[in-house]
């Protein structure tokens, strides 16, 4: 338990150092304009990722499992960050971006249902990758380009979604590799 406390302290310090970046940047430019809520949310998300990694991935002795879990968390964090900051479809205020919440629901529900076992996590991440690609397809039919801004472009939205889907796919394939040794 003392080792876990020490590791969480490192995570806390790492998050604090990362949050210094926007704090310092705000002193030199008006383009970064974070308030207390921005710092609190980002701090909680980053520390939550570290906590999840320490509590779940560290239970496994398999390096492949740990790497897979880390990549999956990284993909989820980047999706949350990019979608919240600028949005994947149009801008962050576009209603269509809320559909990406389905990816998080799939990831959380699948992880819990599989009890974080490698084989179940493999299926969860594959489904998350599929849902990631279904979001822009669904949004395209509900909010076509004349109705909603699809900046950078329709193709750009699909490429960006594909990037996140590939992260989830990579994580899933690593979980599959880890599951062959369970």
d(CA 127, CA 130): 5
| Phi, psi (degrees; rounded to nearest 5) at 175 | -65, -40
In whole angstroms, give the CA distance from residue 56 to residue 157: 32
8 Å CB contact between 136 and 163: no
How far apart, in whole angstroms, are the C-alpha atoms of residue 50 and residue 8? 7
* Residue 169 pLDDT: 99
**Pick from 83, 75, 89, 80: nearest CA to 124:** 75
Q: Tokens 């796919």 identify what position?
A: 169
DSSP string, 111-149: HHHTTT-HHHHHHHHHHHHHHHHHHHHHHHHHS-TTTS-
pLDDT tens, N- to C-terminus, the chain (182 residues): 677 788 889 999 999 999 999 999 999 999 888 999 999 999 999 999 999 999 898 788 899 999 999 999 999 999 999 998 889 998 888 999 999 999 999 999 999 999 999 999 999 999 999 999 999 999 999 998 877 788 888 999 999 999 999 999 999 999 999 998 65
Whether the model pTM is above 0.75 = yes
The domains of the chain are located at: 1-59, 62-182
- For residues 88 and 109, the answer to whether their CB atoms sit within 8 Å is no
In this prediction, residue 90 carries a pLDDT of 87
Q: What is the pLDDT of residue 5?
A: 83
Q: Which pLDDT score, from 0 to 100, does residue 57 have?
A: 83
Local structure of 45: helix, strand or coil? helix
How far is Cα 53 from Cα 50, in angstroms, rounded to an integer?
Answer: 5
Q: What is the pLDDT of residue 182?
A: 56
Chain Cα centroid distance, residue 102: 12
Output phi, psi for 130, to 5 deg.
-65, -45
HSE-CB for 71 with a 13 A CA cutoff: 23
The answer to whether the CB of 94 falls within 8 A of the CB of 87 is yes
């Amino acid at each position: 338990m003392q080792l876990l406390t020490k590791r969480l302290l490192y995570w806390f310090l790492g998050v604090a150092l990362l949050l210094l970046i926007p704090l310092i940047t705000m002193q030199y430019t008006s383009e970064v304009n974070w308030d207390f809520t921005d710092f609190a949310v980002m701090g909680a998300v980053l520390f939550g990722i570290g906590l999840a990694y320490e509590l779940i991935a560290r239970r496994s002795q398999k390096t492949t499992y740990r790497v897979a879990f880390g990549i999956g968390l990284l993909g989820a964090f980047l999706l949350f960050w990019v979608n919240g900051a600028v949005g994947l479809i149009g801008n962050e205020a576009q209603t269509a971006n809320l559909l990406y919440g389905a990816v998080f629901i799939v990831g959380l529900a699948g992880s819990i249902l599989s009890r974080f076992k490698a084989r179940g996590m493999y299926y969860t991440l594959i489904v998350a990758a599929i849902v990631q690609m279904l979001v822009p397809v669904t949004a395209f039919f509900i909010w076509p380009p004349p109705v909603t801004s699809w900046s950078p472009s329709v193709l750009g939205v699909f490429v960006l979604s594909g990037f996140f889907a590939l992260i989830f796919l990579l994580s899933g394939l690593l979980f599959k590799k880890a599951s062959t040794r369970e």
